[in-house]
Structure 1
Amino acid sequence: MIELKLREVKKDLSTKELKVSEYIIANTQALKNMSIQTLAKLNHVSTSTILRLCNKLGYKGFSDFKVDLIGSIPQKLSTEILQDDINLNDSLEDVNSKVQAMEKSSIDETHSIVNVNALNSAIELIIQSNKIVIFGVGSSGLVGKELEYQLIKIKKDVNCHFDPHMSRNLISTLDNNDLVIIISHSGETPDCVELLKLAEQSFVPSIAITKMGQSQISSLASIVLHTTSMEHASRLIPIRSKISQISVVNMLLTNLFIRKYDERLLQQTQNREKRKYPRNN
């Protein structure tokens, strides 16, 4: 699909844009983990050249282009494949090596698609919110619990429950000074969709951490933070999606802690050091 679009607009491209388009066609697999800055550097062009190319292809920006690009890459399917390229007959060493590669590529891809403006808006929304309700199902819920635990450190009034009924009751008490954070890889989890609709009806701002591409959740949330979408639906262990979600959460939290760093957090750090390395009297 991408290659077809590039060939259709070929006659309308500048010399530099044509160079980038040819690189894209020849390096589709590598591009899924590449940032716009890296692509520009490899082709000795400016990022504005790449953005103009994306615009001529009908995309709003590089992130939208990558959503389509990654979705168009064919997935390898086999009865001998447990997930991704991990096979049932792989040795322990092979499995460990492939898991490491999957984790690394997931982190790289997540960082390459981050929307800095959306991330910054999400950070400010968390800081300004009085109450926060977090919800996710399965492993996404576990990532939500980690986010809850860390937000408590900066004294946020935050709740993350695995029970959607409890979360529904909590969201019904919120207003436009509060916040709902939904974590869902698919973007179509029924309970998550229902909770976002409830938040929208009550004019409660929301943040969605979900995979790239169109989904009910991405269309309902006030702010969307994208995670990697390269994980087959049949996977038994959500390695890529979980690592990607954790990467997004770590970016959020690290920037939050920097902006909220004060004497109280400094004291916490010093007390932790004292407990870990007690001085001899």
Structure 2
Amino acid sequence: MNKVDVFSLINSRYNSFTNTEKKVADYILGNTKDAIYMSIIDLADACGVGESSVFRFCRSLDFKGYQDFKIALAHSSAMEDITPQLSNEITIEDGIDEVSTKILNSNINALNETRKLIKEEDISACIDYLTKAESIHFYGVGASLMTAMEGKIKFMRITPKTECSLDSHLQVISASLLTKKDVAIIISYSGSTKDTIDLAKTAKRKGAKVIAITRYSKSPLTTYADITLLCGAKEGPLQGGSLSAKLAQLYLLDVLYVEYFRRNYKESSKNRESTSSVVINKLL
């Protein structure tokens, strides 16, 4: 557990923390170098909370206790020094050069954090589901619908069993017809969109395997997911559909695509040759 990236873990679970736990998380994220050397009493005093609250915070991150958490924090801090996060906070005074640089940094950070959150066993299990599935349905609402469509378009080049409905009513109808032989890939940054939760609940009730692509590991969506793939993008309440969030989601879909292709190479190669040959005729 000590090799886990604590910063990515805190960010992915931040929305599920209590207000007291958020105080601890905020202090650690803002004062990492100091927190590494603090006792549990010192950290509790610095955060203005009780020692038991710090301990519960550590447990909520799946650490055995405070010392286990501190070791992981020190490791993550050392790794951060080697590959530091690039600044991406845009201010009203920034010019075009600063804005373009910070947007680039934001996208790089999102991809780097997403990579740290990938678990090999989860990707492998996803490919098992997709390989055995009779149909693969991509779901998303709002900006996430565009990402879901990207997933469908990408996979349809190598397998005929992909679907994606463009209307929220059609999506829930589609989910109601799923069976235990199908897979639903549901994309939602927050994991808290009502339509998305309804989709996941319906798909789960019908026995389909549910793969969630989301930012937060503990959200209403993930309670219905068989596997959760976390994206590392940071998106504020007024940034719905930000490019960094979409890039992180597309990166995960790309990992699934390539691994599916690799595991099902013969069939995927044949299908890609067929789909490519008909598209090539559209070019001048």
TM-score of the aligned structures, taking structure 2 as reference length: 0.68
Question: 1:21-77 deviations in whole A, cap 9, x for unaligned?
Answer: 5455xx39938x89xxxxxxxxxxxxxxxxxxxxxxxxxxxxxxxxxxxxxxxxx9x
Residue type matched to 2:129 in 1? L
What is the match of residue 7 of structure 1? 39
Match of residue 263, structure 2, among 245, 259, 263: 259
What is the match of residue 97 of structure 1? 101
Tell me if 1:123 matches 2:127. yes
Q: CA RMSD in A?
A: 3.5
Residue type matched to 1:7 in 2? S
Q: Which runs of 5+ in 1 are unaligned?
A: 35-75, 77-83
Tell me if 1:30 matches 2:36. no
What is the match of residue 112 of structure 2? 108
Where does 1:150-161 land on structure 2 (aligned, <5 Å)? Answer: 150-161=154-165
What is the match of residue 143 of structure 2? 139
What is the match of residue 49 of structure 1? none
Tell me if 1:212 matches 2:212. no
Match of residue 173, structure 1, among 158, 174, 177: 177
* The 10-residue stretch of structure 1 (99-108 or 152-161) with the greater mean CA deviation from structure 2: 152-161
Tell me if 1:240 matches 2:244. yes
Of structures 1 and 2, the one with the larger relative CO (CA 8 A, separation 6+) is 2
The question of whether the paired residues in 2 share the 8 Å contact of 1:182 and 1:209 is answered with yes
The question of whether the paired residues in 2 share the 8 Å contact of 1:102 and 1:239 is answered with no
The question of whether the paired residues in 2 share the 8 Å contact of 1:132 and 1:156 is answered with no
The question of whether the paired residues in 2 share the 8 Å contact of 1:135 and 1:167 is answered with yes
1:225 aligned counterpart, secondary structure = strand
Partner Cα distance (2:181, 2:163) in 1: 15
Partner Cα distance (1:144, 1:18) in 2: 39
The question of whether the paired residues in 1 share the 8 Å contact of 2:232 and 2:245 is answered with yes
Shift of 1:150: 1.4
1:87 aligned counterpart, secondary structure = coil
Residue type matched to 1:100 in 2? L
2:211 aligned counterpart, secondary structure = strand
Shift of 1:207: 0.6
Percent identity of paired positions between Structure 1 and Structure 2: 22
